[in-house]
Structure 1
Amino acid sequence: MIPMKQLKYMLSLVVLMQMKVLMGFAQERQQFRLENEKMEVIISRSGISSIKSPSDSYGAEIVGSNSWGRANLTYRIWDGSWLAIHRGSSTNFAVLSDSVVRITDYEKGMPQQMEQTFTLVDDGLDLDIRVKSMMQFPFEVGDLSLDLRPHGPRSEQSKEGIFQKSFIKHQYISGHGSFIFYAKPSGNGPFLMVLPKAGTSLEYFDNQGGGERVYIHSKLPGSLQQQGTWRQEHTSVSLNPAGETDSEVEYGFKLRWVDGYDEMRDLLFKEGLFDIRVVPGMTIPTDLRAQFSLRTKHNIDSISAEFPTHTELRFVEEVTPGNYIYEVQFSKLGENMLIIHYGDGYQTYLEFFATEPLETLIKKRSSFIVNHQQHRDTSKWYNGLYSIYDMKNGILRSPDDTDGFEGWWSYVVASDDPVLGKAPYVAAKNVYYPDDTEIASVEYHIKNFVWGGLQRTDEETPYPYGIHGVPNWKVARDINARTAFRARQLDRMQVWRTYDYPHVFMLYYHMYEIASKYPDKVQYLDAAGYLERTFQTAKAYFMYPYEIWGDYYKIYEVACYNELLIPDIIHALERHGRGDDAEWLRNEYEKKVKYFIYDDEYPYSSEYSFDRTAFESTYAFAKYGMITEMEPDSNLWFDKNREIWYSHANVSKQAAKHFMERQHGAGLSIRGWLETNYYKLGADNSMSYMAKMGGWSVLDYGINFAEKPYDWLQLGYASYLSSWALMNTGTPESNYGFWAPGKENDGAMGWAFIEQKRGRSWLGRDMDRGPWYYDGEADLGLGAGIRMAATVVSNDPIFGWVAYGGNIREEKENLYVVPKDGLNARFVYVLADKRVTYELDRDGFLKDAEIITDKNNNSISFVVENRSQDVHLTTLKISAIFNDIKHVQVAFDGKPLNATRRDGSHFFEIQLPMQQASHHVEIKLGYEADLAR
């Protein structure tokens, strides 16, 4: 027999050999799997090579590079040169147990050692970093960062791959309150959160090495990037010699899967971070107050303002334990930071942006386009064009001056989305604030640039009313130039680009409205003429791209912005007795609506495979299906054997609601919701002109359909406000603008926002943090803003009575609200069970006068101002989609008026006979039971 002592020794050797084999095998493979019910992770020598959720039936992969989660460290000894920590042969990859893996960067003679320890815990994965001195002299860490590039959506993927197997990264870089999360483009869970542990903060980010890098310390990259600005301090950390106090530092992160946004908020609170909400948004006009709630386990020591003499900040109340409400108002235009002080010297930052009042912005932008962005030179083929303004150089660009860009830049300055949104915005603004000079400018544009240039006339064959979209109408009409641009399209008339048509029929539709309301202000066409152009352009939209390109330009399967106006055009045709034309257009539009509701599980593409612009139209299609009776059509694409096809009208509305919820979730995946800084909250995950477009869908969903509306009122209104920060405006005291000072730039605007200190725009040009200095498609977003502008009143469960886009006060059972939304023509009241929208088709609520309503949403009174100062009729529409209204009583200057209701509709119309400067209106409502849900 073997002696017990010897047996124990032999067994220990076996165990040791097994461990060596295990570790050696891991070394050889250079990776190890950590797995439990909450997390599936593969760790390699270079970092995390795979992260998946065991509950995800699609097996979606977060990691976009094999070095995900790998720490980067740069140091210097004394004031010597900066050196990157040595890797390669010196990197030790060790499996410490079945739940712990450690990567150590150290080689004998190096002044420091860095360890990254990956620990599988019950609810996820912990990532800890330790840096310590190894020699008898101090050193400074000037760069400590993580690469966190996700496996993002790619056009070459299948739709399932794009929407269910890829992720979009969201990040809130805000000191000790920072966090990161990843969302699928479908909007479905699970979501991965990356949460700093106590004492760990994030202060900077960039895209070094093609990755997406976040920094714990950023002194070195911050100093290397001399251009641009950054709002947080670039820090470093110094370590004492080995063995002394402060000779090592530790940092940590928690990786956790969650199922939804509410769970994310709860996890932020649980882990000692902040669940923050802001109303009405973080781009805030100087005539409005904002409130924000800080839900946290921490005691707030103080909140300091960047400009204390220009900031009114007060604590309101602790609304629930650990949820603190504050109110703030800014008087200094531009960026305004609040710093939250808490814990052991911890700081978190709230970045606001203060603008001029919204009415000023709406008017100033329209005036700037007319006075600074229109070419008027009869010797030029582009006479009448509204083109791109360069606010960095104070120059209006043109086809003859493309700022050094060549080739495709011709399209940017002379056609398509970058310029075709400008005239429609000016026209939309003038429906509510008519200005003779601006209306004349738009008609000059139509007469000299659009008709017979950009757009084929009614006498041109083939394809009358066709739009010559790209690269511009001059090239498209010139065979030789067209040959040089795209030889493969020589056999096709250049009127196939789907996306251009809605901009043009939007322009004509708003000019039709102007001509109908102010016939003395138009000279080029009358209302009937503009309506004819509107219809024929919309008809060409459905016919020509499909006819010329077939399935290549899938007009019925791709969402285009501004096409949501088609139902309004249909109604206008009906009002003018053009029933056949209305029916034709309705049939084509409903083909598209049915496709989106029934046929495609992921219909969120537009010009790109996953496009933020799509969510304006997808929501409009869903809304149309919710409020319109549509007959099923077996001749369309739909497979009638699929379970989702419904023939009964009520069940068909359920299908529309199902699609509405799906598109809403997908839209959230690319919208800042938890990230509370002005260029994130409500914005399209990298603020651009699209913030308002998809934001309209979120706000309207909250108003009309969501059973719990409060989140979506908060997010939707923040979306409306957010991208006004792209506009450069100001007063004489502020030198007329925060981004590009000088009176000549007062009213200029940026296309999109650069978040990092210096980054690359879609145009391929590096720019400093802030708005691009070209405006481009910015005015497409502002056109959506005109449709979106409203003052919305609600009893929020956190903030109490709130007026989004207005100032509110309570007095017993009544609310007194002064609209400040910029248009002052829509007032919306949202309770859990009663939701009503009051909308004026022209004029507006009297400036600075209070709208008075009772808290039960049963009565309202207000004063309407006569903005055109003439005798006319203004239509007041009262709509209630979520709940039905049984009857309406209206008193106009004390005299009763009739309220008429179209059969089967959800709204009443009242004709207000405007005969003097202002009139007083009182309304009482009676409700039916909830019918819409």
Structure 2
Amino acid sequence: MGKQYYLTNGSCRFQVKNGILYSAGAVRDAAQTEYINETRGFGSLSLAYVFRGEQAGWEPLKTKKLTDEGVQRQGRKLSYRCHAENECLSVDVSYVLDKDTLHEKITVTNLTREPVELEDFGISLSCHTDFGWGKDASGEVLGHHFVAGHGSHSTFSRCDGTGPVFTAMPAPGSQWIFYDCPEEAGKQVQEKDTVIVYPLNARIGRQKQEMGAKLRIPYQGHTLEGKESWETACDFFFAADYEDCKKELTARGQVQAESIPGYTVPRDLQVSLCLTAGMPVTVMADREDVEITFLRSEGSHHFYQLSFSGLGERDIRIAYGEYSTHLYYFITEPIGTLLEKRAAFLARHQVKEEDKWYRGLFTEWNNETGVELSPDNYDKIRGWRIYEVTCDDPGLSKPAFLSTKQTVAPVQEQVDALEDYIACFVWGGLQQTEEEPYPYAIYGIPDWYTLRNSRKKGNSGRTHLWRIYDYPHIALLYFNMYETARLYPEITTRLSGKTYLYRAYRTALAMFQVPEELDGWSALKTGLYNELVIPQIIEALQREGYSFESDRLGGYWRRKAAWFVQECKDIFGSEYPFDTTGFESTHILAKEALRQASFEREDNIFGKEISYEKAAIFMENQISCNVACRGLLEPAYFWYGSDYRGNNMHYTLSYMSQMGGWALLDYACYYAKEPFEILRLAYGSILSSWALLNSGDEKSGYGWWFPGKENDGCACGGFEPLYGHRTWLEQPCLGGAWYYSCEIDLGFCGGVRGASVILAEDPLFGMTAYGAGLCRKEEGWILHGRDGVGRRFHYIGKQGKIHVELEGVRLEPEESIYMEDGCRRLELRFTGQGTEGNIKILTEELGDYLVEGSGALIREGEAFACRPEGGRLSLVRKQ
């Protein structure tokens, strides 16, 4: 039915059929990327209306009565128009290609003299997202949707981050207020989905609200009196990249926001907000516990400071002219409080019964009902997903986080809980001992008890030891126990620190050996979360005198880095054809590749050396992919900084939001030529998933998502942006946080690793602090540490950088750091006296420094370490 027409000029190309776009691309795109799903298209319409008291639905562009006029030339413009009608309504769709923009106008007319209530009007957008095994995902397209009134937009970019960026937006005067996906979509987040945006949503919005969903924008419809018409319009264009896209959106009448430190914000931090607009703006909050202070305007940039005294979701409404849009923030308790509450919650929910085979297990918790899950009660988890309770990434994530927290702020009772987990659940249960056939191997799903007692002798039973993802979590657990014993002698452990280090080493070694031997699954060819601990294990082995073990594990690690740099064609593959699980790993491997790379060209085709050129290219490519699969232009806490798996309508704020955020932060601090914009995204990513840690004070009910003191410190595994679909674990959700924690503690590991106090000379905001309060003092700046960890400080300036990392001690919370103008002097105040810890310092492009008191010289670009003594360290720039 209908012919397909070209709408093409020297800038962009489109194909239209029956009023629906089935192809889109930029003419000068060398890759000739296809952005639209050729089967589903862009622009299919769905209407819901009431006529003569009867509800009805209609898809006007799929009717047999549709007519079109083909393509018409109007000077340099090309136009297309089609028309459809039924017993009471007509719909006209027109496209005009004018220079670099395709304008679409949709007109709905009441053909009768009686009123027709337009309830829903949906516009479907289906991008070219087609992931498959053995298929390079880099050229596939991800949809980034932001729906919040007149400032809504949908951007579509390649998974590898290369431009251009295809953008759809409501034209000036039009808006999108609601979004949804078809019922059949999203059973797995890797499937290609259609997103439907709604200018009108009275029926579907009312239905969702009656089900219990909390809509952020009130639903609305429109009544057409006799012979009246209603219009909505969309504009489509290509931008060179994300920065160009922001400029284009502003030029086309929208407001663009930059928010430091992101959109998930601890209550003890203030927000620096810059709104870029071509007209005056007014900023309003939905609650009285938000203080908005206007600071200044610089051309089209308008700067504000936001302070929050409450907790939970906050809606900041931006009015500009006759239009408005929204920013969505989530306010948490201070990060240090979150760490303590989560750790205490996990230790409190540990199985203590001696007669249970799963004694020592840190249990899953139903935040909604207060049910503690176990192998005797899987609650609402069904089928093969019951593994979530004891093993795999969800089960192993809890001790991974709890042990990570001990390396920062140890608590003896929590260390004891970890010792119970290791002694009762891991050693000889989850993990084979040295006396068993596969020493240090880790059992997989559904749980180790079932597998050890299985009648099956093979890999689906007694030798189900081949899932490579499980090993790094246990290696991290052991290494963290070693670090806790090393850095905090006041903390007692049942085994020596060196014993834990040896177990960490053997577990990491088993990861490379056992799965490949049993199943042919090589850990050398897949990025694994938490495996970034391996270089730390290698370094610790060398420090403790285990040179052979260090070299042996280091050999595997170097081979893995070499494979990713020299042979890897698709960094998105995991247990699914497309996944975001590797971005923490690919970055640490890129760092290793750069460390061992050779500047000398190797012409021997059998040579094993990594060229510096290939290592540098891999570093940039994997960061570009990381950014492309992450919320960037979407100013909402559940999108900004979150990783996206196919689109941003399902399962956001996953563990990789923070873990991959660490990679972005490390890149911004140590590698980026232009670090400031990626630094904003990185820190927003580091903070993002803290929104899923349910906590609060008495006034807030001890939690935004699941109130009640018993839930203070529980966590949510992900976020569902849709107002009524199912979670990845197959539980119904009306939008918001899950009631199971699933794998989110892995994200919290990344949150701890990335936590930093940063002073940045931002070209847009000026001197700005991340993870700290900032105030001017004499000829310098005072920072009050608020990152919750107090282990890292970075100065990122236009002329150079300073990096400081503390071991066994933490920055004082008040007046933590003083930086004198011109980086002439740096003072740090810290608390705690770890006997084995060091303070590590690196300066870049600022010349040499002297340690005040000792006179020790810190040479530019050379790593320096000293012992933390006296609670203070002062560095003076050498003249």
User: What interval of TM-score do these two structures reach, taking the shorter chain for normalisation?
Assistant: over 0.9
Report deviation, 1:218.
Answer: 0.8
Contact 2:806–2:839 (CA<8 Å) still a contact in 1? yes
Give 2:850's match in structure 1, choosing from 889, 896, 909: 889
Q: Which residue of 2 aligns with 1:361?
A: 338
**Within 2, Cα distance between the matches of 1:790 and 1:232?**
35
Q: Which residue of 2 aligns with 1:681?
A: 640
After TM superposition, the structure 1 = structure 2 runs for residues 273-672 of structure 1, keeping only pairs within 5 Å, are 273-300=254-281, 302-308=282-288, 310-319=289-298, 321-344=299-322, 346-372=323-349, 374-460=350-436, 462-480=437-455, 482=456, 489=460, 493-550=463-520, 553-629=521-597, 652-672=611-631
**Within 2, Cα distance between the matches of 1:926 and 1:718?**
35
**Within 2, Cα distance between the matches of 1:787 and 1:268?**
35
Contact 1:317–1:324 (CA<8 Å) still a contact in 2? yes
Report the 3-state secondary structure (helix = DSSP H, G, I; strand = E; otherwise coil) of the residue aligned with 1:657: helix
Report deviation, 1:139.
Answer: 1.5
**Within 2, Cα distance between the matches of 1:858 and 1:621?**
35
Post-superposition CA distance 1:114-151 (Å, at most 9, x none): 11112222213221111122211222211111110222
**Within 2, Cα distance between the matches of 1:424 and 1:899?**
38
- Aligned pair in 2 of structure 1 residues 610, 885: CA closer, same or farther (>3 Å)? farther
Q: Which residue of 2 aligns with 1:8?
A: none
Q: Which letter does structure 2 place at the counterpart of 1:755?
A: P
- Aligned pair in 2 of structure 1 residues 630, 765: CA closer, same or farther (>3 Å)? farther
- Aligned pair in 2 of structure 1 residues 604, 632: CA closer, same or farther (>3 Å)? farther
Report the 3-state secondary structure (helix = DSSP H, G, I; strand = E; otherwise coil) of the residue aligned with 1:620: helix
Between the aligned residues of both structures, percent identity stands at 30
Report deviation, 1:387.
Answer: 2.5
**Residues 831-840 or 285-294, more deviating:** 831-840
**Within 1, Cα distance between the matches of 2:514 and 2:330?**
44
Report the 3-state secondary structure (helix = DSSP H, G, I; strand = E; otherwise coil) of the residue aligned with 1:183: strand
Gaps of 5+ in 2: 186-193, 645-651
**Within 2, Cα distance between the matches of 1:783 and 1:289?**
24
Report deviation, 1:887.
Answer: 4.2
Report deviation, 1:768.
Answer: 2.1
- Aligned pair in 2 of structure 1 residues 545, 714: CA closer, same or farther (>3 Å)? same
Give 1:847's match in structure 2, choosing from 813, 816, 835: 813
**Within 2, Cα distance between the matches of 1:619 and 1:417?**
20
Report deviation, 1:874.
Answer: 3.4
**Within 2, Cα distance between the matches of 1:55 and 1:402?**
55
- Aligned pair in 2 of structure 1 residues 820, 76: CA closer, same or farther (>3 Å)? same
Gaps of 5+ in 1: 1-27, 928-933
Give 2:5's match in structure 1, choosing from 22, 29, 32: 32
Contact 1:673–1:681 (CA<8 Å) still a contact in 2? yes
Contact 1:873–1:913 (CA<8 Å) still a contact in 2? no
**Within 1, Cα distance between the matches of 2:59 and 2:613?**
59
Give 1:723's match in structure 2, choosing from 689, 712, 727: 689
Post-superposition CA distance 1:600-625 (Å, at most 9, x none): 24333233223212111111111222
- Which structure ranks higher in relative contact order (CA pairs < 8 Å, sequence separation ≥ 6)? 2
- Aligned pair in 2 of structure 1 residues 153, 855: CA closer, same or farther (>3 Å)? farther
**Residues 700-709 or 70-79, more deviating:** 70-79
Q: Which residue of 2 aligns with 1:134?
A: 111
> What is the RMSD computed on CA atoms of the aligned residues?
2.3
Contact 1:85–1:105 (CA<8 Å) still a contact in 2? no
Q: Which letter does structure 1 place at the counterpart of 2:594?
A: M
Query: Is structure 2 residue 190 aligned with structure 1 residue 220?
Result: no
Q: Which letter does structure 1 place at the counterpart of 2:283?
A: I
Q: Which residue of 2 aligns with 1:100?
A: 79
**Within 2, Cα distance between the matches of 1:82 and 1:224?**
15
Q: Which letter does structure 2 place at the counterpart of 1:48?
A: L
Q: Which residue of 1 aligns with 2:839?
A: 876
- Aligned pair in 2 of structure 1 residues 305, 760: CA closer, same or farther (>3 Å)? same
Contact 2:590–2:618 (CA<8 Å) still a contact in 1? yes
**Within 2, Cα distance between the matches of 1:276 and 1:595?**
40
Q: Which residue of 2 aligns with 1:921?
A: 873
Q: Which residue of 2 aligns with 1:756?
A: 722
Q: Which residue of 1 aligns with 2:647?
A: none
**Within 2, Cα distance between the matches of 1:878 and 1:152?**
45
- Aligned pair in 2 of structure 1 residues 262, 646: CA closer, same or farther (>3 Å)? farther
Report the 3-state secondary structure (helix = DSSP H, G, I; strand = E; otherwise coil) of the residue aligned with 2:361: coil
Contact 2:23–2:34 (CA<8 Å) still a contact in 1? yes
Post-superposition CA distance 1:351-391 (Å, at most 9, x none): 1111111110111111111112x112221111111132210
Report deviation, 1:264.
Answer: 0.6
Report the 3-state secondary structure (helix = DSSP H, G, I; strand = E; otherwise coil) of the residue aligned with 1:556: helix
Post-superposition CA distance 1:859-916 (Å, at most 9, x none): 21122112xxx67353111124xx267644223xxx4275789xx98421111246xx
Report deviation, 1:526.
Answer: 0.6
Contact 1:646–1:655 (CA<8 Å) still a contact in 2? no
Q: Which residue of 1 aligns with 2:96?
A: 119
- Aligned pair in 2 of structure 1 residues 337, 29: CA closer, same or farther (>3 Å)? closer
Q: Which residue of 2 aligns with 1:765?
A: 731
Report the 3-state secondary structure (helix = DSSP H, G, I; strand = E; otherwise coil) of the residue aligned with 1:823: coil
**Residues 376-385 or 733-742, more deviating:** 376-385
Contact 1:604–1:618 (CA<8 Å) still a contact in 2? no
- Aligned pair in 2 of structure 1 residues 671, 906: CA closer, same or farther (>3 Å)? farther
Report deviation, 1:646.
Answer: 9.2
Q: Which residue of 2 aligns with 1:256?
A: 237
Q: Which residue of 2 aligns with 1:234?
A: 219
Report deviation, 1:680.
Answer: 1.1
Contact 2:441–2:507 (CA<8 Å) still a contact in 1? yes
Contact 2:801–2:845 (CA<8 Å) still a contact in 1? no
- Aligned pair in 2 of structure 1 residues 284, 38: CA closer, same or farther (>3 Å)? same
Query: Is structure 2 residue 865 aligned with structure 1 residue 909?
Result: yes
Q: Which letter does structure 2 place at the counterpart of 1:396?
A: E
Report deviation, 1:679.
Answer: 0.8
**Within 2, Cα distance between the matches of 1:640 and 1:58?**
31
Q: Which letter does structure 2 place at the counterpart of 1:94?
A: E
Query: Is structure 2 residue 21 aligned with structure 1 residue 48?
Result: yes
Q: Which residue of 1 aligns with 2:146?
A: 172
Q: Which letter does structure 2 place at the counterpart of 1:501?
A: Y
Report deviation, 1:222.
Answer: 0.7
Contact 1:698–1:716 (CA<8 Å) still a contact in 2? yes
Q: With structure 2 as the length reference, what TM-score do the two structures score?
A: 0.94
**Residues 731-740 or 112-121, more deviating:** 112-121
- Aligned pair in 2 of structure 1 residues 48, 714: CA closer, same or farther (>3 Å)? same
Contact 1:31–1:44 (CA<8 Å) still a contact in 2? yes
Report deviation, 1:29.
Answer: 4.6
Contact 1:417–1:777 (CA<8 Å) still a contact in 2? yes
Contact 2:381–2:729 (CA<8 Å) still a contact in 1? no
**Residues 579-588 or 114-123, more deviating:** 114-123
Q: Which residue of 2 aligns with 1:9?
A: none
Q: Which residue of 2 aligns with 1:75?
A: 49
Q: Which letter does structure 2 place at the counterpart of 1:364?
A: K
